[in-house]
Chains A and B, each alone.
Chain A
Amino acid sequence: MAFTDNCDVFASIHEDGMNRIARHIMRQRPSWFNFATPDVAANRELWCSNPRPTGDVTRFGNPIFTIMPYLPVIGADSPPVGLGFCAQITRAQIDFHPSSVFGLPDELGSKLDEQRLAIEFQVCGGIRCPERDYLDKIPVAPPPDPRKNEGRDRPPQVQVPGRMNCFCLDVFAVAHVEREFINGVERVVGKLDGIEIVDVAPEGLEANMECYIRTAVSLYLRQKLAIPLKTLFVDFPLFGMGTVSLAPTPNPPVPHNPAVEEDQLKAFVTMTVTP
């Protein structure tokens, strides 16, 4: 069977290639995978994991961390106190149907369903834990008016130092892919179907953490990793040619486009030639 039996242009990428691409992205865009407050980002000793950016990242002044606001300490408002923290994705890999790269936890069905892909990644993070002595030295200011959320009289946030308590979570997700127009460009977007954090208890905490990670990953896939459809075809010359228009092949004859099958992500395009 030919690749183009039901289309004019076909592209596929194997999961082994996709995992290499993931590693390239992590090294060339480290700030998409490493998040920290300014104090942590500036101090390598506080990192939970040591990213390996390419030389170009620093040569061109790209950041290793996305800078985040300090974690506010609940109840402390005179002055408000913030804690430094970091969250780092240290490993990520993808498995296209059928399951072959890694196993799935039982909660996600052990094996991938048709047209599904699995993502396995590790998140490491930690919060700076201040010494009690240091907290005792923070002068207490007059309490602010709680009816005003912001005000010039509100005392500035105090960021407290402390040692980092790092931990790591293994996260599994199952997703499928869809085509979606984002900012006028047709893109291939991953859509989460389920997520599971390994070995977190109690259940309520796990559910809340999973909700947070599901929300973050869903937005991340849509905002950061939605690849234009034509990128899959690696600058194929007919894209952009005036007399030829290329559009995703409809169903029928192609039931899933893009398709996740045979350990690959596949895309099918049909060509129309204008005389």
Chain B
Amino acid sequence: MALNSGLQIDESALIRSAQQGDHDAFEQLVRLYDQSVLRLAMNLLRSPEDAQDVYQEAFLRVFRNLDNFRFDCSFHTWLYRIVTNLCLDQMRKRKVRKEEPSVLAAADGPLDRMDSVAEERVDGDPQRHLFSGQLRTRIKLVLEGLTPRERMVFELRHYQGLRLKRIGEILGTTEEAAKNCLFRATQKMRVALGDFV
């Protein structure tokens, strides 16, 4: 069940209606999850254009394959399988081609392509501002250094707040494997950022 406009909407009923060709139901279904899908893609790919592509491709696949959805898992898990696969593909391609890194080398230090999208203001103490900016840049670089799977598990656990059991279901692996992945990711980040905190 999900909440929408203050009224409880039966997700299963929406899915069944959408499966029968009701496009209003499909629209409502999209709106239940599209914000978190876009946030996930944006955080992983750090490019509004790529995030937009993933958003569109994911929901088009849902639209085209909704008839095949048999309620064997939750709709959320099914949708996230599609989204995470698309994001992983994109991240792996980038790793191979080494193109379009989100953090670019610049004469006066690394620059993040997303800084113009989501610049978080730290008012007050300029030194604190500088430190905070350096820490953010460093975190972004470390995140880029993780393997796509580590990055994905970290994203789903830390930013999307999903339990490891659910993450395992989404990624087609066990809870234990997801746990190991998260463990490796956090270890790498602690080592790389230890001198900042």
Whether A and B are associated in the same complex: the answer reads: no
Interface residues, chain B, with chain A CB atoms under 8 Å away: none
